[in-house]
Amino acid sequence: MTHKKILLEVCVDSFDSAKTAVDNGADRLEICGSLCQGGGTTPSVALVNMIQSELPKLPLMIMIRPRPGDFVYSESEVRLMKAEIATFRRLRVMGVVFGCLKPDGMIDELVTSELAACAGPLEVTFHRAFDMINYPSADGPLLWATSALCVLDTIPKITRVLTSGLQPTFPSSLSYIKSIIDQSVSLSKHSASSCPRRPLTILPGSGISAASILAHPEFCQLLREGMFPEIHASCSSWVDGPMCMKARKEGMGMGRWERWKVMPARVRELREVLDGCVS
C-alpha cells in the first residue's frame, strides 16, 4: 500500500537556514523574523524576495506579527498587519501565518476575520496563539479548545491551525491533539453552510524531532494512518558565531553572540523518520 508523503514545514528566519532546510528535506517554509525572540515576528520583504529568487517554486508561509509578546493587538498594529499581508500577497507567497486573541484570552474573531479577508486567495494558518487561549480550570482545556476551534471554523479563510495540543511541546499532548482533530472533522461535517468546508488542517508543532517521534510509538502509528498530513518543526539550535572571544562585549539586549540556525542533520533525520513511518 502506498502512503502519501508527510509534508515537512520548517520555520526559518534567515536565508542560510532556509537553504539548509530545503537541501535536507523540507517541503515548505514558514518565514519569520527573529525566531528566538518570543516565537518570531514579520520577516523583511528583502528576505522573502531573496528566498523566492534563489529557491524558486518553494511554498512559503509568512509570519505576520508586528512584535513579540502577547497576541492582543492595538488598532494601529492591526493596520500594520493588514499592510504587511497586502505586501506579501503581491509577492504571491503561498500564505500567511498569524493569531489574534482578546484581552480575556479567547480568540479575537473580528480581527482574525479582518486579517484573513485581507489575505484574499492566500492560505491562512492560525498559529500557536491557539495554545495560549485561556481556560479557567485545569479540567477544561479541551472544552475551551473546542470552543476556539468552533470560532475559527466560522472564518472561511482559515486553512490550518498550528498547535502543540495546548501543551509546551507536542508529543506529550498527543491525546489532546487527537481530540482537536476529531472535533475539526466533526465541525466540517456539520457545517451550517450549504457547501460543507474541508476540515481545518491541524498542524502539530513544538518539540517535534526524529527522536521525539521515535520515543512515541503511538505518534508513529498515527502518522502511518494519515492523521497528520503535515508536520511543523524548527530543527534549529544555537551555534557559535564567528566573532572571536576577545572581541565580544557584553552584548546587545539578549547578551548572546550565538546564532539561531537550522541544523542540517536534524532536518535530514526528521525527514527520514517521517518517510519511514509511511513507507
Tell me the mean pLDDT in the region 22-35.
98
Residue 25: partners with Cβ closer than 8 Å, 6 or more residues away:
8, 267, 268, 270, 271, 272
Closest CA to 12 of 237, 239, 252: 237
Q: Are 42 and 30 in contact (CB under 8 A)?
A: no
Report residue 74 CA to chain centroid gap.
23
Identify the pLDDT of residue 253. 55
- Is residue 274 scored above 80 in pLDDT? yes
Closest CA to 67 of 88, 87, 40: 40
Percent of the chain with pLDDT over 70: 87
Identify the pLDDT of residue 195. 47
- Is residue 150 scored above 50 in pLDDT? yes
100-144 pLDDT, tens digit each: 999 999 999 999 999 999 999 999 999 999 989 887 665 566 777
Going from the N-terminus, what domains does the chain have, and what CATH number goes with each? 7-278 (3.20.20.380)
- Is residue 9 scored above 60 in pLDDT? yes
Cα Rg of the chain, angstroms: 19
Residue 45: partners with Cβ closer than 8 Å, 6 or more residues away:
87, 88, 91
194-217 pLDDT, tens digit each: 445 567 899 999 999 999 999 988
More confident residue, 153 or 22: 22
Q: What does pTM read for this prediction? A: 0.91
The single-letter code of the amino acid at 66 is P
57-106 pLDDT, tens digit each: 999 999 999 999 999 999 999 999 999 999 999 999 999 999 999 999 99
Identify the pLDDT of residue 137. 60
Tell me the mean pLDDT in the region 180-207.
73
Identify the pLDDT of residue 17. 98
- Is residue 3 scored above 90 in pLDDT? no
- Is residue 1 scored above 50 in pLDDT? no
